[in-house]
Structure 1
Amino acid sequence: MRVQLTQKRKLCCSAAAFALITSVGLPAAAQEAADKPVTQVEEIVVTATKRAERLLDVPISISAYDEKSLDKSGVRDVNGLAAITPGLTFQSTGVTNNITIRGVAADALRGPPTTAIYIDDVPLLFNKGFGTTTVPTPKIFDLDRIEVLRGPQGTLFGGSAMGGAVRFITPQPSLTSSSGYARGEVADTSGGGLSYEAGAAVGGPIIQDKLGFRISADYRRDGGVVDNYSSIPGGVNQKNTDYSDTYAMRAALAYAPTDNVTITPSLYYQDVKTNNRSFINEAASNPHNHQYIATNLMLSPSRDKFFLPSLNMSVDLGAVKFTSITAYLSRDSNQTADYTTFVPSIVNGPQPTSAANMSQLQLNSTQRNFSQEFRLANTDPNARLKWTVGAFYRRSVVDGVQQIYSPNFGNYIQSSFGKTVEQKFGHGMANGVYSLFSQQGFVDKEIAAFVDAEFALTDQLSIAGGVRFSHLEQNFYYVGAGPLTGLASFQGSAKSSPVTPRISLNYKPSRDQLFYVSAAKGYRAGGANTPLSGFAQPGCQTALSGYGDTTTYAPDSLWSYEAGSKSSLFGGRVRVDASAFHIDWKNITNNVTVAACSGNFLANLGDASVNGFDLGVTANPVRNLTLSLATGYTSATYSKGAALGSNVFTRKGEQIADTPPWNVSVAAEYSFDLPHDASGYVRVEDRYRSMNDGSFPFLNPTDKLYNPALVVNPMVNTLNARFGVTRQGYDISVFADNILNDNSVLDIQRSPLIGFPYNGGHPVQPFTVGLTATKRW
């Protein structure tokens, strides 16, 4: 039973921490400098409006973090970012993931997203389908900052920003000064494996004022906590199977041939290899003792890598600035899942007793995106009218393959049913070894023009707004073969021309206060569905007849209304950001599962009302003490139900997704002086996500979206602490995460189908201790 950290590891971590802390002269009691003044809350500059502005001046609900604050919070990925950001939710099953802002949720398995992901000014756009079921999420290393923009951002960031946008802003090469950043980390998780990281970044001028560079590289191992003990003889028995390795690299040059022209080519590369999904078998596990067990015959590894070259060119023309961003995203991903015990359930056959009858789901996808943006903006920060106009083009090609590798399927069918595969299903194996083969592809095109402006009516009152005109086209194909799907082929297309405006009225009684009201439209394109061939099941077509036309689904859209304020109070010692919002969401795109067809399709099912607020407070009440609160509340329910024919899918008052109503992050950090020009700090942070105890369509037996296999996520509360010492750019700290040992299991499914590969859930990371060292110069 591996409940405690091993004694050897505990002694190793404790000795290392003690040696590092005492080496910089930690006294028995920290001594404060009596004449040190109370500091102001740090001011952050953001580019949410594609102009550099103080966060305090932007009439949008934004959470922004620089790399120092992310390091102190121990945030290394989007999951950690969501834990500290109001309104942001991240869910992952290992096969699918989903990023949601303010309850505007996309389907986790299929269709277009509702949250835009950007690296600098480059979108990581995608359309989920076979083989493409995860959002590309950058890891967090060598960043200038992260900006989370809440509410629809379609005017400047396109249709994928229906609920909001998450922007990863990288450090740009300097032409005048050198700088660098390095980070190393080692951590041990209760009952799990070691985690460790090493990365470095450096940049500066090659030719003063003419040519500069920035290069970074990082490797990270996240240790696993799930052990696999196969229930079938001959299977995998391995501890800590769900570990992952991440390799990230970025290189950029800045060239200024003249004083007003800067050309910046850059390259971002990321490769994430996961040894096994973190799904557990609930019956075999004991979460209370942090024993997480899977019982699969095989592991389910995955790999997701993307390559993002881009070229940014800016030309300062005096009164205006011209910017061009050209980018090409190349992404390849593959995933597998053990279907050995699931395939027999599909064909109503006996469960296998030997590894010879293995079946493995294989998902493979490629994504190739080309995008080009041009924009022109005025440069005078004191101008009464500030404006940006631009044009955008994108072509995205996504190809995905879903196949079930079952090399002994013919012998299994013959021995179980006394028939050949062709006799039982009417179709033979695909390529001799696949019981199912399907290929799906999308070609999405977008062309758009946008304008965004702010006009000062008086010194204190301004009106801001913009509009984006887009034309979207999607072409789609599908082919299928094999006994579990039959021969099928399909082609489809969809077009739309959305207009997404926004407007806000802004009042600034002083430089340090902003009040605003705004309205903005969000839009998501429609598309074509994969035909449901029914896994060769005779009842499929009968079931489909009650749904009408399932070949396509229409666009959905929303209007978001927001009132907010941003204030810097008491001489900059207190910063308060608050907003309240109401969203009317029409014609919601939702996933419909047809059990008789063992498949699903997207349809437009009902309208929703989303209400809530976000609140962020940062205060330095006394010398050396910083307190922070980030909280949000979201209520997202159907305001109008929907039915297809006689089939009722959603009802008024039901939740549209399993979004936690409350998320709260509170932190306290105290710093103190140490000898030898060193300083220390202690940081304690608590992160809370509430359970959504509302009614859901998937829990209502009278709804066609009823799915008793799904379980509502529980409340999660994790308490973290960090103690560090800084000196001459070095920061060495020891940390403990999930001190209270929250043992929640998330995203649980409990399908009655024997061998369903997604039965179970994945655990919250157990109690973890570690050591982090960073250096900035």
Structure 2
Amino acid sequence: MKIQRTRLQLAIATLFTTGATLGASAWAQQEAPTAGTENAATPAKAARSEQIQTIQVTAQKRKEDASKVPISMSVVRGEDLAAQHIAGLEDITRNVPNISFSGGTQGNGPGLSNIEMRGIASSAGSGTVGIYMDDVSMTTRNLYSLGSPEPKFFDVDRIEVLRGPQGTLYGASSMGGTLKVLLNQPDLKKMDNSAMAEVSSTSHGGINHSVNAVLNVPLVANEMALRVGVQSTHVSGYITQVDPDTLATVRRRTNSEDDAVLRMALKWAVNRDLTVTPALFYQEVKTGDLPTEYPVSQTTGAALQPYQVSKPVLEPGKDKLFTPSLTINYDLGKADLVSVTSFYQRDFNRTQDGTQANSAYLATLLQPGAPAGLASTLAVTPAYVYLNNQVRQFSQEFRLASKGYDAKAPTPVTWLAGAYFSNLHTTVNDNEPVPGMNALFAKYGLNAEDPAVMSGTFPGAFSNDSAYFTARHYRTTQKAAFGEASYHFSPDLRVTAGLRDLYATDSLAREASNYFAAMPGMTIQQAHDESTHAVTPKFAVSWNVDPTDMLYFNAAKGFRLGGQNRDIPLSICGAELNSLGLAKAPASFGSDSLWSYEVGNKSRFLNNRLAINAAAYYIDWKNIQVDRALSCTFDYETNAGKARSTGVELEVKAKPTPDLTIDLAAGYTNAYLVDANEALGSLAGQKVPGAPKFNATLGGEYRYTITGTTDGFARLTAHWTGSSYGTAHIGDSDYQRPAYATVDASVGVNFEKWQVSLFAKNVANNNKVIQRPNVQFFQEAYRLVPRTIGLNVSGSL
């Protein structure tokens, strides 16, 4: 499935036309907006509420008031995402307590970063945060070429960030927490046609633009509705490529990005008890290069200017997500049955600059007496790494939930029980050519496959100029039964116990060839299954001290599956492995787990004009999955050491007047290694990499009346992110990451159903370098995105 930008624009124009026509004919069916809702499309004459809105969530897989859910969680509404121009996961991490992002082992960029919560951070093994779109799991294994999936926040109802292990209801990998993106569902009652257009300019970059449209059509009144949305976005980029020798400009705005999103959902109320909802989400993200710079030139070592890169090979990528699903809800009277059938597909193809890791490294392996010109030329010959990542997952979940608690019911017990199955296939194809390499050696009358010329080479080592080829096929299956039950001693006091019983198998099959596989022809690593059985319990107590004040305690276990390692050639890495006491690299690594203990409260004061949520936690994490990098350019995953994380979270929302809203969100994390971690080369007491010590956001919005049908608004938000550690290696350039702050602002006007706003992100144009990862043996630098100023128009047709 391929969506071109021109087709998207045509589709948007068609939606505009269709929406206007259908909207005129169905105008009488539309419901008046509810007073007090703060949607940007709400007419200005609607009275602004004096109270803080309550939000219904599905954090525990049943609809509940967020203030009654006994876990630390944050909820960001769809209208707040739009108002604050929060476009993706990186922005979310700066707005929510104790959640962070960090570049993977291959640097930063769309599709490469990892998401972490409460200091439970690891770039090895399975993910530590579960990522869901509605009820579709998109959580996969961390790979050096693949980070967390990053769905664009388009037509979103809300985002739920559930902190702490969620293993009972969400399974393995939700050990740090779970992030759920909940999309707007079709409305059976009213027509809804909305659109948005935005244009902006980025410092050091160019013009960005985005346009989207959403059409909700009741096909059969109160019985069937269709919701369709499309979005197209262009981000100009701000990185400049320069010649590594002369530093002359080669290309500007290399890290441009073009996005296309399509989502469709059909809701069919077969009868009053049965609802069927098929849906799909498709997203394509095309990037011209990574948003990172080089401090110095690769060849001369000369200092580069900010936002410059001297790589000879740009690193473009194309990341496609496709998630069809079928959800069935059936009201059985005393309980609700839900079935979710889903398929998750991700194709992430990208090019990486392999000049330093391959060409320059191979030049150091030339035998004594090789021509000097050969070594110097080979060292700077552009090399490519073509990575083709494919993820395919089928999953099925059934769950049966009792109705909510009713003090008049014959039993004080509420419960939920379910079963889950998934089959996940992940394939990584890695081809690393050095174009012209064989011809270069022939120019000097030599053969690159002659061991007298290059150490460790052999006939067929550089077939088709490729130094390495591998295809890895991971397969993971999971089967689980889970459930929770709550006993209500009174309407104000309940105790909850839950359990998930999981069985999983994991296997890896691999083909490899050429020089870095250390074997002529194709070698095959046969698949072998590793089985895992895990039980993840949960226990919680909640007490409503009064109707607006809840105290809670919970204890829960988090868990990650283990996995397989690829074979590492002993001819290249044998001596280094021997120095570590290993005859060969471990064939697999085991699971890791943690226990989390949390206390918190959720309170509302002053007639629901002040809300305060606070939580404190203590986490013990053992048998940590880590990545052991070898100087021979290979790595393997293993288990080593223990860690502890303690911290607090605070969220305050206040409405001193109906016109003024103030938000404060803050988190503090102290995550550190309890004992020496030999695999990481770190000592007891060192901080867990990737976890900022604190983060905080303070924002305010003021609305004022201009006329009877027009009002204005002004918003200001400041973000602080504390210092962190990018690696456990003290001498690494990314060891210490600095604290930083940004400010965003916007002003605008609501005209009936339309809103016009002027906004600025990173108002002070803070260009601090916040990460300095070493990628393919070369230091990179990742800065904050430069100041962006834009104009946004949105509303209903």
Give the TM-score taking structure 1 as reference length: 0.89
How many Å separate the matches in 1 of 2:741 and 2:346? 35
Matched residue, 2:544: 508
Q: Specify the code of the residue in structure 1 equivalent to 2:53.
A: E
Matched, 1:111 2:125: yes
Pairing 1:705-724 to 2, within 5 Å after superposition: 708-724=732-748
Q: Deviations over 1:342-389 (max 9, x none)?
A: 423312346655999331011101111000000111124425322110
Distance 1:315 1:78, change over 3 A: same
User: For residue 122 of structure 1, what is the aligned residue in structure 2?
Assistant: 136
Cα distance in 2 for residues equivalent to 1:353 and 1:347: 11
| Residues 238/35 of structure 1: CA separation in 2 closer, same or farther (3 Å cut) | closer
Judged with a 3 Å threshold, the aligned counterparts in structure 2 of structure 1 residues 60 and 193 are, in CA distance, closer, same or farther, namely same
RMSD: 2.7
Given residue 479 of structure 1, which amino acid in structure 2 is its aligned partner? E
Are positions 1:264 and 2:277 aligned together?
yes
Residue in 1 aligned with 2:770? 746
Helix, strand or coil for the counterpart of 1:697?
A: coil
Q: Does 1:766 align with 2:747?
A: no
Q: After superposing the two structures, state which structure 1 stretch, 423-432 or 298-307, moved more.
A: 423-432
SS at 1:390's partner residue? strand
- Partner deviation per Cα, 1:466-500 (whole Å, 9 max, x = no partner): 11000010011222211133224323432111100
Is the contact between residue 565 and residue 636 of structure 2 (CA under 8 Å) also seen in structure 1?
A: yes
1:518 aligns with 2:554: yes
1:55 aligns with 2:55: no
Q: Is the 8 A contact 2:712 2:750 kept in 1?
A: yes
Residues 390-405 of structure 1: matches in 2 within 5 Å? 390-405=418-433
The CA deviation string for residues 232-276 of structure 1, in whole angstroms up to 9 with x for no partner, is: 699981101101111111001111222211111011101000011
Q: Cα deviation per residue 1:602-657 (whole Å; 9 max; x = unaligned)? A: 1111011100011000001234111110000001001122447xxx8332211121
* Cα contact 2:355–2:380 (8 A) shared by 1: no
- Aligned-partner Cα distance in 2 for 1:35–1:311: 37
Separation in 2 of the partners of 1:42 and 1:535? 65
SS at match of 1:698: coil
Q: Does 1:656 pair with 2:688?
A: yes
Distance 1:687 1:736 in 2: 14
2:669 aligns with one of 599, 616, 634: 634
Shift of the 325–537 alpha-carbon distance from structure 1 to 2, 3 Å rule, reads closer
- Give yes or no for contact 1:658–1:712 (8 Å, CA) kept in 2: no
Residue 101 of structure 1 and its aligned partner are, at CA, apart by 0.7
Q: Residue in 2 aligned with 1:371?
A: 395
Per-residue deviation, residues 672-701 of structure 1 (Å, max 9, x unmatched) = 0002511111111000101137x96311xx
What is the Cα deviation at residue 556 of structure 1? 0.4
Letter in 1 for 2:195: A
Q: In structure 2, the residue corresponding to 1:432 is in which secondary structure? A: helix
Distance 1:691 1:642, change over 3 A: closer
- 1:388 and 1:113 map into 2 onto residues whose CA distance is 26
Q: Structure 2: how far apart are the matches of 1:507 and 1:240?
A: 55
Q: 77-86 or 634-643, which moves further after superposition?
A: 634-643
| SS of residue paired to 2:723 | coil
* Residues 1:737 and 2:773 aligned together: no
CA, structure 1 residues 635+412, in 2 after alignment: closer, same or farther (shift >3 Å)?
farther
Query: 1:502/1:398 Cα in 2 relative to 1: closer, same or farther (>3 Å)?
Result: same
Q: Look up the SS of the partner of 2:692 in the other structure.
A: coil
Q: Report the CA distance shift for 1:623/1:211 in structure 2 as closer, same or farther (over 3 A).
A: closer
Residue 319 of structure 2 is matched in structure 1 by: 304
Give the partner amino acid of 2:70: P
Q: Distance in 1 between matches of 2:774 and 2:175?
A: 31
Counterpart contact for 2:45–2:709, Cα < 8 Å: no
2:493 to 461, 466, 481: 461
Aligned mate of 1:239, from 232, 238, 252:
252
State yes or no: 1:202 paired with 2:233: no
Question: How big is the shift at 1:149?
Answer: 0.4
Distance (whole Å) between structure 1 residues aligned to residue 548 and residue 584 of structure 2: 57
Asked whether the 8 Å contact 1:593–1:599 carries over to 2, the reply is yes
Distance 1:602 1:594, change over 3 A: same
Which residue does 2:513 correspond to in 1? 481
SS of 1:297's equivalent? Answer: coil
SS in 1 for 2:156: coil
- Say yes or no: does 1:338 pair with 2:349: no
**8 Å contact from structure 2 (residues 343, 395) kept in 1:** yes
Instruction: Describe the shift of the 1:180–1:407 C-alpha distance in structure 2 as closer, same or farther (beyond 3 A).
Output: same
> 1:357 maps to which residue?
381
1:61-89 deviation per Cα after TM superposition (whole angstroms, max 9, x unaligned): 11101111111211000011111010111
Instruction: State whether residues 341 and 352 of structure 1, in contact with CA within 8 Å, keep that contact through their aligned partners in structure 2.
Output: no
Residue-pair matches, total: 725
Shift of 1:191: 1.2
Secondary structure of 2:656's match? coil
Partner SS state of residue 568, structure 2: coil
Unmatched 5+ residue regions in structure 1? 1-32, 700-706
> Which region of structure 1 is more displaced relative to structure 2, 173-182 or 515-524?
173-182
Task: Give distance in 2, aligned partners of 1:34 and 1:731.
Answer: 14
382-391 or 60-69, larger mean C-alpha shift: 382-391
Contact 2:556 2:597 in 1 (8 A): yes
- Give, in whole Å, the separation in 2 of the partners of 1:679 and 1:232: 57
3-state SS of 2:323 partner = strand
Distance 1:414 1:542 in 2: 36
CA distance in 2, matches of 1:196, 1:290: 27
Q: CA deviation at 1:215?
A: 0.7
The residue number in structure 2 matching 1:215 is: 228
Give 1:246-257 correspondences, 5 Å limit: 246-257=259-270
> Tell me, what secondary structure is at the counterpart of 1:80?
helix
Q: What is the 5 A alignment of 1:155-234? A: 155-231=168-244
Q: Which amino acid aligns with 1:765?
A: V
Distance 1:627 1:683 in 2: 10
Q: What is the rounded CA distance, in whole Å, between the counterparts of 2:382 and 2:256 in structure 1?
A: 24
- Check 1:356–1:553 CA distance in 2 against 1; reply closer, same or farther (3 A cut): closer
Amino acid of the residue matched to residue 714 of structure 2?
Answer: V
Q: Is the 8 A contact 2:146 2:348 kept in 1?
A: no
How far 1:106 moved relative to its partner?
2.1
Report the counterpart of residue 446 of structure 1 in structure 2.
478
Distance 1:537 1:115, change over 3 A: closer
- What is the TM-score normalised by the length of structure 2? 0.87
- Identical amino acids, percent of aligned pairs: 28
Residues in 1 aligned to 2:157 and 2:335: alpha-carbon distance in whole angstroms? 25
- CA offset at residue 528 of structure 1? 1.2
Inter-partner Cα distance in structure 1 for 2:297 and 2:380: 24
Secondary structure of 1:410's counterpart equals helix
Instruction: List runs of 5+ in structure 2 lacking aligned partners.
Output: 1-43, 365-373
- Tell me if 1:589 matches 2:625: yes
More displaced stretch, 257-266 vs 374-383: 374-383
Aligned partners of 1:640, 1:608: CA distance in 2, in Å?
A: 8
Out of 94-103 and 398-407, give the one that drifted further.
94-103
Q: How has the CA–CA distance of structure 1 residues 696 and 671 changed in structure 2, closer, same or farther, with 3 Å as cutoff?
A: same
* Equivalent pair of 2:360/2:379 in contact (CA under 8 Å): no
Specify the code of the residue in structure 2 equivalent to 1:571: N
Q: How many Å separate the matches in 1 of 2:129 and 2:574?
A: 39
Indicate the larger mover: 183-192 or 377-386: 377-386
1:133 pairs, out of 133, 146, 155, with 146
Which of 615, 620, 626 is the equivalent residue of 2:655?
620
Equivalent residue runs for 1:653-692 within 5 Å:
653-692=685-724
Matches within 5 A, 1:261-340: 261-283=274-296, 291-340=306-355
Letter in 2 for 1:228: Q
Instruction: Say yes or no: does 1:86 pair with 2:102.
Output: no
Superposition deviation, residue 422 in structure 1: 4.2
